[in-house]
Amino acid sequence: MLTETLKLLFERDLKKLRDEIEAYKTEKNIWQVEKNIKNSAGNLCLHIIGNLNWFIGAQLGATGYIRHRELEFSSTNIPKNDLLLEIDKTRSVLDNTLDKITASQLELEYPILVFDKKTTTYYFLIHLTTHLAYHLGQINYHRRLID
- Per-residue pLDDT of 53-65, as tens digits, reads 999 999 999 999 9
Mean pLDDT confidence for 96-113? 96
| Paired residues of 109 in beta bridges | 120
How high is the pLDDT of residue 32?
A: 96
Does residue 146 carry a pLDDT above 80?
yes
Mean pLDDT of all residues in the chain?
Answer: 97
Q: What is the pLDDT of residue 2?
A: 86
CATH node for 2-146: 1.20.120.450
- Give 121-139 pLDDT, tens digit per residue: 999 999 999 999 999 999 9
Per-residue confidence (pLDDT) for residue 105, from 0 to 100: 95
Of 129, 144, 132, 127, the closest CA to residue 20 belongs to 144
What are the sequence ranges of the domains in the chain? 2-146
pLDDT (tens digit, 9 = 90+) per residue, 56-103? 999 999 999 999 999 999 999 999 999 999 999 999 999 999 999 999
Across the range 4-15, mean pLDDT stands at 97
DSSP for 58-90, please give it. Answer: IHHH-------HHHHHH-----HHHHHHHHHHH
Residue 48 has pLDDT above 80, yes or no: yes
Give Cα separations from 112 to 43, 46, 56, 70 (angstroms): 25, 22, 11, 20
Gap between the Cα atoms of 95 and 145, Å rounded: 32
Using the predicted structure, report yes or no on whether residue 35 has a pLDDT greater than 90. no
pLDDT at 147: 92
Q: Exposed e or buried b for every residue in 76-85, given b needs 16+ CB within 10 A? A: eeeebeebee
